[in-house]
Copies of this chain bind each other. A is one copy, B any other.
């Protein structure tokens, strides 16, 4: 059977602009789209196809990884590789490359495996696993009846208190533990905020470019996203006021704008708060990595300037501890505690007792503060090493933005190169990257790569990886 499918291949074109792996990818994609290959059909093994076409095994592997990453095929071990059962193509295949790039972008925020440059991850190699495992084992051994029942949907009392104390010291936020609500991540925080304070048809300012999942979530709730441009001082508040003065909320990343990493300037911060007060609007401060600033002390949060109770502060443990623990939090103004308690009781499942208990112990015993200090130093080093390594190899093709903080780099592509196309190739070659264009609301912004440096351990590693990118340009 497999042989029959392979024989459908007309010879590949060595003179084509597209490399072989891309040609193979396009053929399979075309066959699937046209119905020649149906969901559940077996396709030849990479080994068989390598032999049949007389190409390097790596070429076939690259094509198959891309097809698998985009959901077209599935490896089934002994049973071989098949076209994904139940696969439905959403749109006819017109222009394979941009289409492929779009699909990659769709899945790009949560890849299946860990790749070099992967965004949103802390340094995994230096996480204090032994301490963590020890605290966890202790919590498990100490489990008594009160730890076995439904945890408070607001979050563990002790954890809320630790978060409030931490925010006071590190982010200049004055709040009582009762104002802190533990959630299972940024999406969950945003969803609860939307249930509490927004309704279908409302308009919300979003930074443009900005974190794509926010607009996805609002779209599903029929809330209209109003793109507000970002310049060197962060969100251009005056433009927001011009476009949508009566918006119900603004989502901002004041510490390091996501993804441009610029800080929201003080005049802008004051203008934003002033607008919110005058319009009874909400400012949602997404402080996802405010701790990680390398050129000066971390900035106080926008929330610390909030005299009128208009700022909802969203923090997370994903970046400062681990994403796998699914712990984030929201600080609401004192006046909104009761409203938010109702919403949390109606919607929230609560976070598992165990993970909350481990994090609480980790903070209480001083490991948390030490870990952040250590990571700040390490990230400053890794950032510098990664910039040096990539500039050396890719300097002719890209310009690296200089930024005061954050966990990723921005590499501006020279000329009219498509960041989406490059990202799709990188993914096929086993490298992570995100395209700035995919973070831009009209999909028509500057062309740049977003690459995380947190897991790049030396300049040598960065150079090696840079060379792999160079081959894909």
A residues touching B (Cβ–Cβ < 8 Å)? 86, 88, 110, 113-114, 118, 120-121, 124-125, 127, 129, 132-133, 136-137, 140-141, 143, 145-153, 178, 183-188, 191, 195, 200, 213, 216-217, 219-221, 318, 322-328, 334, 337-338, 343, 345-355
Contacts and interface: CB of A to CB of B under 8 A. Distances in A.
Nearest to A118: B149
Contact of A352 (B195, B216, B324): B324
A138 to B, nearest CB: 9
A423 to B, nearest CB: 19
A29 B266 CA distance: 47
23 contacts: A86-B334, A86-B337, A114-B146, A118-B149, A133-B140, A148-B322, A148-B324, A150-B318, A187-B346, A195-B220, A216-B345, A217-B347, A219-B346, A220-B343, A220-B347, A324-B352, A326-B350, A326-B351, A326-B352, A327-B352, A352-B355, A354-B354, A354-B355
A349 B110 contact: no
Nearest to A121: B149
A403 B97 CA distance: 62
A315 to B, nearest CB: 14
Contacts of A322: 148-149
A328 B349 contact: yes
A402 B98 CA distance: 65
Nearest to A150: B323
Copy number in the complex reads 2
Nearest to A324: B353
A151 B185 contact: no
A137 to B, nearest CB: 4
B132 A143 contact: yes
A213 B342 CA distance: 12
Contacts of A354: 136, 324-325, 352, 354-355
A141 B353 CA distance: 19
A341 B350 CA distance: 22
A326 B349 contact: yes
Nearest to A90: B338
Given A137-B137, A145-B114, A355-B352, A220 B346 contact: yes
Contacts of A133: 137, 140-141, 143
Contacts of A349: 183-188, 326, 328
